[in-house]
A and B are shown apart, each in its own frame.
Chain A
Amino acid sequence: MSKVVKSVKRAFKKVVKGVKKVVKKISSSKIFKAIGIAAAVYFTGGAALGAIGGASAGGLSGAISGAAAGLGNAAAGISGAWTAITSGAGLGAAGGSLAGGLSGAMAAGSGAAGMSVGAALGAGYGGTAAGLAAPGGAMSAAPSVGIGAGASGTNTAAMSLTAPTTGGGAALGGATAPTALESAVKMVANKAPELLKEEAKTGILSSALKSPYTVPMAMQIGGQMLAARGQEKEEEQTREEYNRNIANAKYVSRY
Chain B
Amino acid sequence: MAGLLRPQQKEPMPEPPQGGVEDDMEEDMGEEADESNPAFVAAVEFVKAALYESGASDQVNEVVKKSQSPVDDLANMAYELTSIADEKTEGQVPDELLVLLASTVLAEVAEIAEASGVKLEPADVASALKMMILRFVGEQGYDTRELHAAMNQVSPDQINQLVAQDVPEEQEFV
Contacts and interface: CB of A to CB of B under 8 A. Distances in A.
Interface of A: 1-12, 14-39, 41-43, 45, 48-49, 51-52, 55-57, 60, 63-64, 67-68, 70-71, 73-74, 77-78, 80-82, 84-85, 90-97, 100-101, 103-112, 114-116, 119, 124-125, 127-136, 138-139, 143-148, 150, 169, 171-173, 175, 177, 179-181
A94 B52 CA distance: 42
B143 A95 contact: yes
Contacts of B146: 77, 80-81, 84, 90
A64 B159 CA distance: 11
Contacts of B140: 1, 5-6, 9-10, 12, 100
B77 A33 contact: no
A125 B66 CA distance: 10
B154 interface: yes
A31 B54 contact: no
B95 A38 contact: no
Contact of A171 (B13, B90, B151): B13
B138 A107 contact: yes
Contact of A144 (B54, B68, B94, B120): B54
Contact of B49 (A16, A17, A108, A135): A135
B79 to A, nearest CB: 7
A9 B20 CA distance: 13
Contact of A18 (B83, B97, B114, B144): B97
A34 B46 contact: no
Interface string B87-124: 11111001111111011001100110010000010110
B112 to A, nearest CB: 10
Interface in B109-157: 110-111, 114, 120, 122-123, 125-126, 129-151, 153-154
A104 B144 contact: yes
Contact of B87 (A2, A15, A110, A148): A2
Contact of A96 (B50, B99, B144, B172): B144
Residue of B73, B99, B173 most packed against chain A (CB within 10 A): B173
- Secondary structure type dominating chain A contacts: helix
A41 to B, nearest CB: 6
Given A15-B98, A27-B169, A108 B143 contact: no
Nearest to A118: B76
A5 B91 contact: yes
A38 B153 contact: no
A221 B111 CA distance: 60
B12 A171 contact: yes
A38 B159 contact: yes
Nearest to B159: A38
Given A2-B87, A55-B171, A78-B150, 6 more contacts: A4-B87, A30-B122, A37-B163, A39-B129, A101-B138, A131-B56
Contacts of A42: 126, 129-130, 133, 151, 154
A67 B86 contact: no
Given A38-B159, A124-B66, A18 B100 contact: yes
B158 A67 contact: yes
B161 A67 contact: yes
B100 A22 contact: yes
Given A31-B120, A173-B90, A132 B50 contact: yes
A18 B172 contact: no
B162 A150 contact: no
Contact of B136 (A49, A84, A104): A104
